[in-house]
Structure 1
Amino acid sequence: MNKLEENPQFNPFAGPEIEKVIYTTKSQSEIWTSCYFGENDANRAYNLSFTLDFDGSLDTPAIELAIQTLVNRHESLRAAFSIDGVYMSIFKQLSITISKLNLSSLDEKSQIDAFEHYKNEEAHYIFDLVNGPLIKVGLIAFSDVKNSLILTVHHIICDGWSIGIILQELGIIYSALVENKTPTLEESTAFSAFANDEILFSNSNEYKEIEQYWINLYKESIPEVNLPTDNPRPSPRTYYGARVDFTLDSELSASLKKTGLSVGASFVTTLLAGFEVLLYQLTGQNDLVVGVPSAAQPTNGMDNLIGHCVNLLPLRSNPTPDISFIDYLKKRKTELFDADDHKHLSFGHLLQKLNVPRDSSRIPLVPITFNVDLGITDGVSFSNLNFELKNNPKSFETFEIFLNVTGKDKNLVFEWSYNKNLFNPETIKKMMRAFEQILQKVVENPAQSLQEIIFQDYTNIYNKLNDTETLYPNISLSELLCKQAEISPNNVALEYNNTKISYHDLHIRVNQFAHFLSAQGVQSGDYIAVSYPRSPELVYSILAIIQCGAAYLPLDHEYPAKRVEYMLEDSEAKFLLTSKALSLTLPKCSNTLLIDDAMASLEQYPSTKLPTEVNPENILYLLYTSGSTGKPKGAKISNRNVVNLLFALENEPGIKETDRVPFISTISFDIASFELFFPLFKGATLVLPDHETSKDGTLLYEMLEKEKISLMVGTTTTYQMLCDAGWSKKLPIKIWCCGEPLPVPVAKELLKRGDELWNLYGPTEVTIFSSCKHIKSEETLISVGAPIANMQYYIVDDQLNLLPPNTVGEIAIGGLGVGKGYLGRPELTSEKYIPNKFTNKKGDIMYLSGDIGKLLPSNEVVCLGRIDHQVKVRGHRIEIGEIELALMAIDGIKLAIVVAKTDILIAFIITNSEIENELDEIRLWRNELASQLPAFMVPHEFHILEKMPTTLNDKVDRTALLEYKSNSESNQEYTAPRTNEEKLVAEIWEENLKKERIDIFSNFFEIGGHSIIAVTIVVKIQKKTGIRIPLSAVFKHSTIEKFAKLLIKENKI
């Protein structure tokens, strides 16, 4: 008891006389900590509140005395807690004041309104955990024969099992009083005895074995269940809740019970298995955790004990598509028996042992909880009264979803309590309907596979998204361009170095070059490599190749020689077209044709088009993209693919004959093919800058103005380069952004500089672009829009099932833009290009993009990045794009790239202006990120760069960033406390975390802190300074530097 005397806030002589003081149990400590962290909202979220509606003449004095007798019988009902949550004081006597409300004089509607208001206030009463009482009773009179009793009790002193005891004993005591008899009750079990047993047991070898069982269950990995939410998770998490109730059909309930009994599974196990299948359907995850409360009273032989004696079991399950439900149920029955043998567990202590990464926006490990309270009123009676028990509605909830199944076997009520900051009520209703459908399928045929059971037909949703069928001419690209040359022969086709080339002249040069190539032996179906500087000659070469029915292979002359050599060998290119100068640096090719020599000889060839007709299915170009094996892979794109793309974008975003389009991308980038063909397809002008201009932001910006560019296609990096170079004023230009994600801040800047902004998306393998989105100024989320003409989008899980809106999966793309696979890579082709099972057309193929995304309810798709850009840091799967967006929303940051290296995140930053003090600026960035993102998503290191390394395709080179090394001060390991407040906080942190020299910018939870230690810290701070810091402040101000500021009087908490 000496520790009691050390706590100045705990006065055993204040308030009612105390009978005894005991240590709180681990489970109670977890609730106390949660209430301290979440303050009033969390406190109310732990209220257990129900109403007893009585029909008959209620003896009011008898019910009041029965309640007081009940309170006096049970230690927990007359308990309160010390300020630090370490002790529970049990009062010798505790007088309960019952509030009364007489509504008998009101009409029925007014009675209902007044009752609902009163019930809501009672159910959400804020209990004082330190002074008590922690039980509240209200009595409402509607008439002489109609009354209701509202009982609200805090979960820290009561659990679901205890509610049953309260009802049983209340009925017995009341009935005895009105019948002038002595209540026949067994001697109550003291909660103090249970608590003492718990402490002894927690130090036993048996408990260590139980704990080890659960540690072993999670030692390989810790799953994170990600339900598709309607809204982003706020940080820190909120407790605002609501509840939706459903009644299950009685016949379905009976059939479900029979299904379980057929394999010896209890009704509870059967319901839980069905719920896990629902979660499998909703999340697409086959590694799930559901929290299931387990009452300790029956296990300990203390059946009539009232108190918080429940253990929250984190039950892990692994549903798979091929297993039948009945086999899954058998499996779960065995696993749950095993879990039941190890149910004497402290959940909070397990979290500490597992070192589960803490995220202030989430509930650790078990965001979803499932409970079954059946027959809680069985055997309960009140003399001369009929009654009905109802759980009161909740406006606060501790879990993301808490599903409580109550009632009787034939009248089951599913009470869905949920966090309303995450879910809309309609979403919860859909979940229950989906659950009911699963249960119906289970009883109809329990031998069905889980895949068959969870299958939901989202076909109509995707049919609407993919209603894109449009008829276009069945011709080759060469034929299409020839027709355009006939339509607009005098239009300027190319401009280069003050030279203008008309469509007529372009057409003649291409025809002559095609005859030249044909004379050299170029035939339909050949692969012809091209490496030549950006110029009219390059354009002639490419257009001549495709007129021959051959495919061009673009080779960037800046590529490493070994990469070019590999492409030439892998493609078995028949010829290499290049310049004399480049031929000296490129790998040797036996069939090299010098474009300069060819141009000098063109006059001897016919100016008419080759007579050969090109099949639209012929490969148009072969483009090599990075491969996961380290060897690039050649994606084959046909004439039909490109023709469809050009027609699809002709009207939206659109192009006009008067448009002037720059050809700035390196020829090895798929965007270059679009830049080349799109203006020539419509009679517009293609402007060719030299190599230096295309790479220099200042020169490129000057060209935009001088050449009156009206439509430009480029990557985010290119546009940022232009802005850096001084592009600030608005130009009459249509901006097409592609190739990289378009962050909201960048979009806002580009909207100021052009007439229109479009975001285009599509992998190389599906012909450059497959969707587009017109970005408006009010956009807060940049989507990639909907599929263009004759293209289809599908969001699928790993079993290729369609996913509902807002559910994250892989973007699969079908339609006329899907290419012809990878050259010489049949296994990879069959893996990525698969039959499109969602259409009725034989031979339709869809491409698995490797991009993750989701379908919005607005029928647009959001791309969330590459699957291989998902990283795992300290047990958390992280989409680094989310961190990058958060960084780029900070004033002063122009570009942010985040990479994961080993087990840390590293941010690379380009700022709008020079930074005077990097350390201070980085601290500001850390603080800003910490206000938006969980601690584990805040990068450990920050590096400020002048420019990002880029690939030859002008994309950020993330591989190069991984190799980056810096001696910057921003990554120093230790920053010592500077102020007295920081020194005090550091001393207390180091003492309780058992660490030396904690950096003042280290995150409390990343260096081993958890909620129990946080409690100790705030109590010690209060002892030392007299300042009471809310426990929630540890989450919000989780570094010494930030926490210490709370001790300065001028700073408001």
Structure 2
Amino acid sequence: MTGAATPLGTGLDANERGLWAFQQLVPHRGVSNVATAIEVSGPARWWPVRRALELVVARHPALRRSFPAVNGVPVRREHRPDEVDVEVEVHQAEPGELAADLRRFAARPFELGEPPLVRAGLFIPGPDQHVICVVAHHIVTDAASLDTVLTDLRRAYLALSGGHEPPIAAPVPSRARSGQDESAVRYWRERLAGFDATGMRLEESAASPEEPAFSGAELDRVLTVPADMLAGLRRRCRATDSAILLAAFYLVLHEHGAAPDAVVGVMMDTRPEDAGDVGHHDVGYHVATVPLRVSLNGRAGFADLVARVSGEIVTGRENGAMPFELLATARPDRSEPAWWRGALVRHCYNFRPERTSDEPLGDGSRFRDVHTGLSRFDLELVVQPVAGTLRVGLQYATEIHDAAFAERFLDRFKLALDQAVADPGLALADFDLRTARDRHVVTVANRTAVPWPAPPTVLDMIVKAARDRPDAVAITQDGRATTYGRLMSAAATVRDAVLSHGRADHPLVAVAAPRGAGTAAAAIGVWAAGGCYVPLDPGHPPRRLLQQLDEAGCALVVGGDDIPPRCLDGRIRVPLPDPATAAGTGPDRFEYGPAPADPAYVIFTSGSTGRPKGVRLTHRNLANVVRHFTAELGLDASVAMTWLTTFAFDISTLELCLPLAVGGRVVVAPDESAARPAELLDLIVRERVSVIQATPTTWRLVAEHGTGRLTGRTILCGGEPLPSRLAGRLLATGARVFNVYGPTETTIWSTTTEITDPDARITIGRPIANTTVDIVDQRGRPRPVGLAGELCIGGAGVASGYHGRPDLTAERFGNGARLGRHYRTGDRARWLPDGTIELLGRADRQVKIRAHRIELGEVEAALETHPDVTTAAAIVVGDSAADTRITAFVVADRAGLETELWNHVSEVLPGYAVPSGITVLDALPTTANGKVDYRALAARPAGPPARGDHRNGAEATDETEAALIALWRSVLGRPDLGRDANFFLSGGHSLLAARLAQIASDTFGTPLTMGAVFRAPTPAAFATLVRKEAGR
């Protein structure tokens, strides 16, 4: 509403208030400036420019306004022409610097309290050329007004340059302002109720900086759309060109990640339609950025979208144009650092009518657009018809997007327009916005075919290496060496034992043992018998081992005395062989091996229902990944690689097979060495290890001690996202660093990249040999470069499926024209323009904690097996990868269950999957559709959960307990803990448990492992274990 006039000034209208408020937020940036220019042939003339500008300012009252604050309240003052001193600056410009000079001139801010809010610059790049640039603040002008100013300036300049006094046009009266501001505010607030502005952040956008500079850039294109086809689209949609192009903008934004409930700020001219010629030349800010809310339904046709957009435009006009700036400042969204940018409108659309006159100022002169180098919006699409074409400019915030993104966006806008013109009824979900460049990038990245030479399986490779050098060392462990001959002889005893129990096709044989030469011989022996081994960790809870044995249907279990007796009920134990006592003639006894298509091993991963799932991998799968890394790393018989990972974890297979396949050496790392970096590095140096594979969690510990001790070695880092800071620390050690990625279902690793630049974006690289990758949407259609989708992997590494689970196999594995047989990973990723892949996280509720893949549904299922639990929810918390842990919430029939529940799930889940905190609630929060609201759980106030009897702060009974209580308190940062404090329910996790075990070992001089903390998680229980170990 226009304020009443006072001696001090007049109150501001809605447009002015919004722009004035915005200027206060960024007073030192000309974010609200608008500029244009004309290039003129001939010598520069300063005086005619200045006099022409004086006449223009005198004619248009808006250019003589100022907006000072009086007692903190902004007012509008209109000054007489003789009170305004116009400014024309002269700049000698180098031709190559002209654009930058104009941009700096246009971006310089105005002081709103000092008139005039317009200035001109005369730029002289040469003796026979000059450029006149006009800059004004948006509060007194808009694009159409600036054209009027430039037209008036042109006429006056031509007359004055010719020595004539220009005809002084009559002043243009200011149009009366609308008084419907408050009703407009009401309407738009109701229309935007419930809108989530965060849904308009695009996938490729960077986070808004806390103090944005509003830096911007512009990309211009001329698009040619056949006039007859565009006219046909207008007739079909019964809509204007502006509405059609706006609909295409909504579509392309949605393709780039904007939510289907979308808001775009649309520039609307607020001049009344009956304003007449004089009214249309009324200079001022006669536009408003109207936030139009449109719902996109993928099944609807493009013409339907145009109809919805047209309706919103009409409704928006009928209810009064409300400037975005005022709404933004009236309703801040502090969740966005630069909230005034993202509170309501992140993206803007501006359709400008074709210029009625593009007359030059003189022969060889022309208009020139000037960009301020600033941007209020993430994206602003400016469209203007020009001589039968469309001139399209994309202005973008350079803090949010880069030039390559802008190029791709406009390419896809043109594709969307072409497809809409060709078929107006095309469903939104059926638009294909992949450019020719997108297709080329993916095609080149997937050119991975490599014909491997014989022998065809890893077993064949190991047998060949053993025959070539039977006396060479194959495995070293604790100072003991096992030759290839003895390894193969020990393997033969397992082969014979398996065959003695029947010759079933590809029997599944469990190997439940820690890493070592005997375990390696067992795996090789099972293969030699035509069998498929199932690696199990005897340290896992007996109930979980039983689940896996039952799921696999194993009748034979190869292992030592540490297999829980209950796991052997109804099964036959085959003793773990001891290569030290085996004869050295083993290689000659291996005459026949498995075929490439035969199963090699079944390895269990977490299952969302609580039932573990066994992934069945073939010899062809394994041979391909071994061959690839042999070639990429340039390995030969001189290689020595650590066997660091537990045998039941799939990457352990590479640590065992990669060196043996080339006749190299496996160096078995002691248990817990991953958590003891100094000991691990000593082993690496002592054993001359050349290749080390570990997770980022392990490398984070090792990097602190690795300077100078990893130089010249090769590092494989995978199983979790690699933070860029860690990549830099690893490179600083002097090692070659490879980031590797792959799910168990596609055989260990499927993509790889060597990290060479610590400051470059971390990617998972490109597909390995004979592997193809696709990134698809929910319908399985390939996504354009830069846009997120589900990562699918095809090729030689794809497993044959889940053992005994045809339903699950059908759900996760598929066949398609592009990839053939493939696996849907559930990971979100995107192609980058260079053909590498960036991993973006999970699409489901599967998580990785310290490289262990965990289905949160399995954790919930385990909790719900307790008779007093009615429902459970598990989430991941933690500020960093090293601090990531699971915490659970349950609804139970009685209180005080935390410790009991922890003990209960510890019998079912491996230690890394046991929640570090369990909280009993009266009810789980739910979303509007009745589902568990995991966001609400994650937003609960930080702090430890309720603890029951484990927190009671009971005093120590002896010095051992006192020392352990102090240790618990130190490691967990919890001064309130007592002798019954459960380590994990008090905020601990496996990495902290490893640290605690190491400190306890040093304190008491007794070897204690991380597993001891799981078995005895309270100071009182751990003290009993310490006394027992000390008494041995």
Give the TM-score normalised by structure 2. Answer: 0.73
Offset of 1:489 from its aligned partner? 1.3
SS in 2 for 1:570: helix
Using a 3 Å threshold, how does the CA distance of structure 1 residues 298 and 559 change in structure 2: closer, same or farther? Answer: farther
Distance 2:638 2:153 in 1: 87
2:522·2:576 contact (CA, 8 Å) conserved in 1? no
SS in 2 for 1:262: helix
Residue identity opposite 1:396 in structure 2: L
Using a 3 Å threshold, how does the CA distance of structure 1 residues 388 and 907 change in structure 2: closer, same or farther? Answer: farther
Are residue 81 (structure 1) and residue 68 (structure 2) matched?
Answer: yes
Are residue 157 (structure 1) and residue 140 (structure 2) matched?
Answer: yes
Instruction: Indicate the residue corresponding to 1:266 in structure 2.
Output: 240
Instruction: Indicate the residue corresponding to 1:366 in structure 2.
Output: 345
Instruction: Indicate the residue corresponding to 1:627 in structure 2.
Output: 607
Instruction: Indicate the residue corresponding to 2:201 in structure 1.
Output: 225
1:80·1:134 contact (CA, 8 Å) conserved in 2? no
Q: How does 1:749-898 map to 2 (within 5 A)?
A: 749-753=729-733, 755-776=735-756, 778-839=758-819, 844-868=820-844, 884=880
Distance 1:98 1:638 in 2: 81
Instruction: Indicate the residue corresponding to 1:983 in structure 2.
Output: none
Residue identity opposite 1:271 in structure 2: L
Offset of 1:154 from its aligned partner? 0.3
Offset of 1:639 from its aligned partner? 0.8
Q: How does 1:1026-1037 map to 2 (within 5 A)?
A: none
Distance 1:826 1:527 in 2: 17
- Unpaired stretches in structure 1, ≥5 consecutive residues: 5-11, 13-17, 872-878, 889-896, 920-941, 966-1053
Match of residue 218, structure 2, among 238, 243, 255: 243
Instruction: Indicate the residue corresponding to 2:597 in structure 1.
Output: 617
Offset of 1:90 from its aligned partner? 0.8
Are residue 718 (structure 1) and residue 718 (structure 2) matched?
Answer: no
Using a 3 Å threshold, how does the CA distance of structure 1 residues 672 and 22 change in structure 2: closer, same or farther? Answer: same
Distance 1:382 1:465 in 2: 50
Distance 1:116 1:299 in 2: 37
SS in 1 for 2:192: helix
Deviations 1:895-947 (A, max 9, x none): xx999852279799xxxx9999999xxxxxxxxxxxxxxxxxxxxxx999994
Match of residue 34, structure 2, among 34, 48, 62: 48
Distance 1:147 1:758 in 2: 56
2:252·2:412 contact (CA, 8 Å) conserved in 1? yes
Offset of 1:558 from its aligned partner? 2.0
Are residue 902 (structure 1) and residue 938 (structure 2) matched?
Answer: yes
1:74·1:189 contact (CA, 8 Å) conserved in 2? no
2:441·2:834 contact (CA, 8 Å) conserved in 1? no
Using a 3 Å threshold, how does the CA distance of structure 1 residues 99 and 142 change in structure 2: closer, same or farther? Answer: farther
Match of residue 668, structure 1, among 648, 667, 670: 648
Offset of 1:646 from its aligned partner? 0.9
Instruction: Indicate the residue corresponding to 1:975 in structure 2.
Output: none
Residue identity opposite 2:232 in structure 1: K
Instruction: Indicate the residue corresponding to 1:539 in structure 2.
Output: 520
Using a 3 Å threshold, how does the CA distance of structure 1 residues 539 and 436 change in structure 2: closer, same or farther? Answer: closer
Match of residue 628, structure 2, among 648, 667, 671: 648
Distance 1:495 1:382 in 2: 85
Instruction: Indicate the residue corresponding to 1:8 in structure 2.
Output: none
Deviations 1:724-773 (A, max 9, x none): 67887456643322222333333343345464333222111111112233
Deviation larger for 644-653 or 823-832:
823-832
2:19·2:326 contact (CA, 8 Å) conserved in 1? no
Flag the structure with more relative contact order, 1 or 2, with Cα contacts below 8 A and sequence separation at least 6.
1
1:286·1:320 contact (CA, 8 Å) conserved in 2? yes
Q: How does 1:157-196 map to 2 (within 5 A)?
A: 157-160=140-143, 162-163=145-146, 187-190=173-176, 193-194=177-178
Offset of 1:870 from its aligned partner? 11
Residue identity opposite 1:327 in structure 2: D
Distance 2:192 2:575 in 1: 71
SS in 2 for 1:772: strand
Q: How does 1:985-1024 map to 2 (within 5 A)?
A: none
Instruction: Indicate the residue corresponding to 1:475 in structure 2.
Output: 456
SS in 1 for 2:460: helix
Q: How does 1:120-139 map to 2 (within 5 A)?
A: 123-137=106-120
Match of residue 523, structure 1, among 492, 496, 504: 504
Q: How does 1:468-507 map to 2 (within 5 A)?
A: 468-472=448-452, 473=454, 475-507=456-488
2:215·2:399 contact (CA, 8 Å) conserved in 1? yes
2:482·2:579 contact (CA, 8 Å) conserved in 1? no
Instruction: Indicate the residue corresponding to 1:512 in structure 2.
Output: 493
Are residue 289 (structure 1) and residue 275 (structure 2) matched?
Answer: no
Distance 2:292 2:86 in 1: 40
Deviations 1:584-619 (A, max 9, x none): 2x435412314159999999x999647765221122
Distance 1:611 1:113 in 2: 76
Instruction: Indicate the residue corresponding to 1:15 in structure 2.
Output: none
Distance 2:345 2:794 in 1: 38
Match of residue 405, structure 1, among 383, 387, 390: 383
Offset of 1:514 from its aligned partner? 0.8
Offset of 1:568 from its aligned partner? 2.1
Using a 3 Å threshold, how does the CA distance of structure 1 residues 85 and 373 change in structure 2: closer, same or farther? Answer: farther
Deviations 1:756-803 (A, max 9, x none): 333222111111112233333655433333222112233334444444
Distance 1:763 1:525 in 2: 24
Are residue 91 (structure 1) and residue 78 (structure 2) matched?
Answer: yes
Q: How does 1:444-483 map to 2 (within 5 A)?
A: 444-450=422-428, 451-457=430-436, 458-472=438-452, 473=454, 475-483=456-464
SS in 1 for 2:200: coil
Q: How does 1:367-382 map to 2 (within 5 A)?
A: 367-375=346-354, 377=356
1:54·1:388 contact (CA, 8 Å) conserved in 2? yes
Residue identity opposite 1:456 in structure 2: T
Instruction: Indicate the residue corresponding to 1:31 in structure 2.
Output: 19
Instruction: Indicate the residue corresponding to 1:298 in structure 2.
Output: 272
1:67·1:170 contact (CA, 8 Å) conserved in 2? no
Q: How does 1:723-762 map to 2 (within 5 A)?
A: 729-730=709-710, 733-753=713-733, 755-762=735-742
Distance 1:538 1:563 in 2: 20
Using a 3 Å threshold, how does the CA distance of structure 1 residues 321 and 471 change in structure 2: closer, same or farther? Answer: farther
Deviations 1:1020-1051 (A, max 9, x none): xxxxxxxxxxxxxxxxxxxxxxxxxxxxxxxx
Distance 2:215 2:517 in 1: 65
Deviation larger for 541-550 or 155-164:
155-164
Instruction: Indicate the residue corresponding to 1:571 in structure 2.
Output: 552
Using a 3 Å threshold, how does the CA distance of structure 1 residues 887 and 502 change in structure 2: closer, same or farther? Answer: closer
Give the TM-score normalised by structure 1. Answer: 0.72
Offset of 1:647 from its aligned partner? 0.8
Instruction: Indicate the residue corresponding to 2:415 in structure 1.
Output: 437
Aligned sequence identity (%): 21
Distance 1:59 1:742 in 2: 60
Are residue 311 (structure 1) and residue 281 (structure 2) matched?
Answer: no
Offset of 1:669 from its aligned partner? 0.5
Offset of 1:433 from its aligned partner? 3.7
Distance 1:741 1:101 in 2: 54
Offset of 1:88 from its aligned partner? 2.1
Using a 3 Å threshold, how does the CA distance of structure 1 residues 460 and 513 change in structure 2: closer, same or farther? Answer: same
Match of residue 548, structure 1, among 529, 542, 561: 529
Using a 3 Å threshold, how does the CA distance of structure 1 residues 262 and 173 change in structure 2: closer, same or farther? Answer: farther
Using a 3 Å threshold, how does the CA distance of structure 1 residues 133 and 402 change in structure 2: closer, same or farther? Answer: same
Using a 3 Å threshold, how does the CA distance of structure 1 residues 100 and 780 change in structure 2: closer, same or farther? Answer: closer
Offset of 1:640 from its aligned partner? 0.5
Offset of 1:134 from its aligned partner? 0.7
Deviations 1:379-432 (A, max 9, x none): x99999999655434332322332222355735422333334555546534433
SS in 2 for 1:223: helix
Using a 3 Å threshold, how does the CA distance of structure 1 residues 578 and 463 change in structure 2: closer, same or farther? Answer: same
Match of residue 307, structure 2, among 311, 320, 330: 330
Offset of 1:63 from its aligned partner? 9.9
Using a 3 Å threshold, how does the CA distance of structure 1 residues 436 and 142 change in structure 2: closer, same or farther? Answer: same
